[in-house]
Every structure is written in C-alpha cells, then in structure tokens.
C-alpha cells in the first residue's frame, strides 16, 4: 500500500552514541562516518529512500501519525560499519510496556505496535540500501585473521 505523506526531516545522526551500544546493532570499529552519511542523506538519499519505502509501506496513515506524534523518525541513527563494509542503522521502536506507559491514545493493540516497529525497521533497511547502492562507495577495511571475532 502507498503511504501518501510528506517526507519527514532526516534525523540528526547520533554522534555521541557508539553504534555498538544499540541493542539492535552489532558493530565493530569506531569510525562511523556519520558526517559523510548525513551529507549523502542531505544530497538526496533520505528523500529517495523515503519515496521508495512509502510507495510500498506497510504502515497506514493512522500508524504514520503515531510515528510522527512520538517523534520516532528523529530517533533513527545511521553509521558506517567498517568491519562489515556496510551502512548500519538503529531503528526506533515502541517498547513492550507501551500499554503501561500510555505512549499515545491511538496505540490500542499489539498489532499496531508490531506494525509500526516492523515498518520502521523496513524503512531503516531501505535507507541503508539506497545509501550503499546510489550514494557511497566505501570499502571494508582489510582485516587480518587475528582480528576476526570468535564465533
């Protein structure tokens, strides 16, 4: 389904947060290249990614209104994962205790919560793909066998 809304402002990338501190990201290295990613987002990657995502978004207008009311887009973070040679991201989401916290009057079911969380995750992935495919051309750092993580 198409989500027919205006493209939101891109988030400020969290320069004060180490990417490996996020529960949903596993990153090695500490050169996140956020300033360069912010430039690429401003150069059109953000608008291109939003347009691509919105054309087939799983969120409806009511769910999008919740996202904007809660300022969730502002909580996105994008960063370079030099070890994996990819753009990584942290997607915001609604917490499990949404009911107790009474986050928003229109959040009335787990279906709404999981739909919003899934939609935001999908959007984050689209942003990363657009950045990697059309805006940046960075290579992963060469890593020696001694530097590989233990699995």
Instruction: Quick: pLDDT tens for 79-88.
Output: 988 778 889 8
CA angle 52, 79, 4 (to 5 degrees): 20
25, 69 in Cβ contact below 8 A?
no
Phi, psi of 80, rounded to the nearest 5 degrees: -90, 130
Average pLDDT, the chain: 86
pLDDT digits over 19-73, tens only? Answer: 666 665 565 656 788 899 999 999 999 999 999 999 999 999 999 999 999 999 9
Q: How many residues does the chain have?
A: 151
The interaxial angle of helices 61-69 and 110-130, nearest 10 deg, is 80
């Amino acid at each position: 389904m198409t989500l027919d809304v205006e493209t939101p402002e891109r988030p400020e990338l969290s320069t004060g947060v180490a990417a490996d501190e996020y529960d949903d990201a596993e990153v090695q290295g500490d050169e996140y290249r956020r300033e360069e990613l912010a430039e690429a987002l401003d150069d059109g990657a953000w608008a291109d990614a939003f347009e691509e995502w919105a054309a087939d978004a799983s969120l409806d207008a009511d769910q999008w209104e919740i996202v904007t009311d809660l300022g969730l887009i502002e909580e996105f973070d994008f960063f370079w994962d030099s070890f994996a040679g990819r753009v990584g991201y942290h997607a915001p989401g609604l917490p499990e205790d949404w009911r107790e916290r009474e986050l928003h009057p229109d959040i009335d079911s787990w279906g709404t919560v999981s739909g919003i969380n899934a939609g935001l995750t999908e959007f984050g992935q689209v942003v990363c793909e657009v950045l990697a495919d059309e805006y940046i051309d960075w290579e992963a750092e060469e890593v020696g066998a001694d530097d590989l993580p233990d699995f």
